[in-house]
Amino acid sequence: MSMFVAQTTQPAPGRLESLVLWPNTIDLNQDGNNMSTRPNVRIERDSMGEMEVPADALYGASTMRAVLNFPISGLRFPRTFIRALGLVKQGAAKTNMSLGLLDEKNGNAIVSAAQEVIDGSLDEHFVLDIFQTGSGTSTNTNANEVIANRASQILGGDLGSRLVHPNDHVNMGQSSNDVIPTSIHLAALLSIKEDLIPSLEFLAVELGKKSVEFWPVVKTGRTHLQDATPVRLGQEFKGFAGQAEYSVQRLKHAQEALAEVALGGTAVGTGVNTHQEFSARTCQSVSEVSGVLIKETGNHFQAQSSLDALVETSGVLKTIAISMHKIANDIRFIASGPRAGLGEITLPEVQPGSSIMPGKINPVISESVIQVVAQVVGNDASVTLAGQGGYFELNTMMPVAAHNILQSISLLATSAHNFAEQCVKGITATGVGPDMVEKGLMLGTALAPAIGYDAAAAIAKEASAKGTTIREMAREKTELSDAELDELLDLERMTEPGIGAGGPAGGG
């Protein structure tokens, strides 16, 4: 008999590579026993029979079948997910030992092997494509086999010896159907806490510093892309800082939703084949080790049949992305020019902007943020569709949801930090904004409380037609004294609330 087995060299993340296949020459004797002596492979077994796997691979037959079944994209689960999966497996072993269900020799070996998964030293053995079985069963099995084989090695056994069994020991009290969604939640919580929130807080701080620095700079406000009443450059940056701050608040709501996990529901939410205390104890153990809170859901049937918490979290991530688009886009437009645009600020010059135009500098950091936004919005669409993949007792689009939501968290974290470090920190104000504000036609708004809206509008229109300022036209068309005009057209007062300092509140 013959079959084909794929080499296990893992493609670079995100890179599509063809799996290189080589022929398997398993020879069976008359009793049906394997007689293969081909070097660099060993025989592993699962419930479907024998499979050749690379001799030094920690995974087994079931993982090998999945390698062959899903040569789709070269995309792999990210480090943060593998770490979370290791944390769940380690916590489960500790719980099963404490409940007297798993002997300490095997249990401690599992705990040690799982720690290596958590630390990342076994990542090369997690070889499966994102586009696989919809429950993530292949990846759960991958983890079970890797941990079981490594634990067997720790106990002095050979690979494939099954001194520690992947199902009976490593997967005790669990199902892919509750382990995978739990691991996705945990991975998202870890990435949000350790990466995204710190990056957004850093961005908020740097934007806040610029708000203070730019507070004295009064410039023309803009609504509908047209001139509006004066605003402080610092007030604009205060708005940007506020968006970053509110993004962190939104994430805290998402963290509450993600904290409820499916672990303990096993196959369909009933908890069959697991101890009643398994989930609560394991969640407590994982929380203590990971530093993020997870807790058993109060309704296992919704937790395994839906991805509602992930859809909610993805929506929050999309909102954050849109906030970052607003900030990055406004900053690049405020800096446009430097001579034929607005030119009210200058951005750090980080690289040449053109291969043909010498001296051109582009807002490349802002542009990178905006491209991240596009990716995150697309990822949200994928997560939304994955959320629709809940059929009866199980959602079967978990791997692609995991990939997209974890990528969104990572991209937002790295781009927010890079934007703050490479762009925001180095922004400086120019004199263009203050020079232009006195020429603004919307200064006529400040005249309205004194002479009425219609008269102020007529002055603005005539000033526009004649190319003069509001102040000059008001001197000609009204009886207001210079002192009264100075008071009404005080630019700094017009950036504050109050009648006589910009007129009554109204639409833009």
Tell me: do 421 and 476 sit in the same domain: no
Tell me: do 116 and 162 sit in the same domain: yes
Tell me: do 39 and 55 sit in the same domain: yes
Predicted confidence (pLDDT) per residue in 54-107, tens digit: 999 999 999 999 999 999 999 999 999 999 999 999 999 999 999 999 999 999
Asked if residue 506 belongs to a domain, the reply is no
Task: Give the pLDDT confidence score for residue 370 in this predicted structure.
Answer: 98
Asked if residue 285 belongs to a domain, the reply is no
Each residue's pLDDT expressed in tens, for the chain with a length of 508 residues: 333 333 333 433 333 333 333 333 334 344 444 444 567 999 999 999 999 999 999 999 999 999 999 999 999 999 999 999 999 999 999 999 999 999 999 999 999 999 999 999 999 999 999 999 999 999 999 999 999 999 999 999 999 999 999 999 999 999 999 999 999 999 999 999 999 999 999 999 999 999 999 999 999 999 999 999 999 999 999 999 999 999 999 999 999 999 999 999 999 999 999 999 999 999 999 999 999 999 999 999 999 999 999 999 999 999 999 999 999 999 999 999 988 999 999 999 998 888 888 888 899 999 999 999 999 999 999 999 999 999 999 999 999 999 999 999 999 999 999 999 999 999 999 999 999 998 888 888 989 999 999 998 999 999 899 999 999 999 998 989 999 888 998 989 999 998 654 433 344 5
How far is residue 186's CA from residue 262's CA, in Å, rounded to a whole number? 11
Domain finish residue from 137, 172, 207: 172
Domain finish residue from 111, 138, 172: 172
Predicted confidence (pLDDT) per residue in 176-205, tens digit: 999 999 999 999 999 999 999 999 999 999
| Residues ≥6 apart with Cβ < 8 Å to 276 | none
Tell me which residue of 480, 446, 449 sits closest to 460, measured CA to CA. Answer: 446
CA distances from 436 to 244, 431, 432 (A): 29, 9, 6
How far is residue 445's CA from residue 500's CA, in Å, rounded to a whole number? 9
Tell me: do 222 and 107 sit in the same domain: no
Domain finish residue from 432, 459, 485: 432
Can you give 355-377 as a three-state secondary structure string? CCCCCCCCCHHHHHHHHHHHHHH
Domain CATH for 426: 1.20.200.10
Asked if residue 323 belongs to a domain, the reply is yes
Tell me: do 237 and 253 sit in the same domain: yes
How far is residue 292's CA from residue 348's CA, in Å, rounded to a whole number? 37
Asked if residue 282 belongs to a domain, the reply is no
Tell me: do 41 and 79 sit in the same domain: yes
**Of all helices (H) and strands (E), which one includes residue 42?**
strand 41-46
Tell me: do 208 and 347 sit in the same domain: yes
The one-letter amino acid at 280: A
Q: Judging by DSSP bridges, how do beta strands 260-261 and 295-296 pair with one another?
A: parallel
| Residues ≥6 apart with Cβ < 8 Å to 385 | 397
Asked if residue 105 belongs to a domain, the reply is yes
User: What is the residue range of 204's domain?
Assistant: 177-266+298-432
Tell me: do 340 and 462 sit in the same domain: no
Domain CATH for 33: 1.10.275.10
Q: Known catalytic residues?
A: 224, 354
Neighbours of 208 (CB within 10 A): 18
Give the pTM.
0.90
CA distances from 99 to 70, 278, 281 (A): 37, 8, 10
Asked if residue 271 belongs to a domain, the reply is no
Neighbours of 224 (CB within 10 A): 7
Give exposure, 31-41, as e/b (b: 16+ Cβ within 10 Å).
Answer: eeeeeeeeeeb
Tell me which residue of 111, 114, 131, 119 sits closest to 80, measured CA to CA. Answer: 119
Tell me: do 228 and 372 sit in the same domain: yes
Q: At what angle do helices 176-191 and 278-290 cross, to 10 degrees?
A: 30
Sequence-ordered strand ranges (E) for 128-205: none
Tell me: do 258 and 201 sit in the same domain: yes
Tell me: do 387 and 449 sit in the same domain: no
Asked if residue 278 belongs to a domain, the reply is no
> Structural domain tally of the chain?
3
Domain CATH for 490: 1.10.40.30
How far is residue 203's CA from residue 421's CA, in Å, rounded to a whole number? 8
Task: Give the pLDDT confidence score for residue 500 in this predicted structure.
Answer: 52
Asked if residue 504 belongs to a domain, the reply is no
Tell me: do 428 and 444 sit in the same domain: no
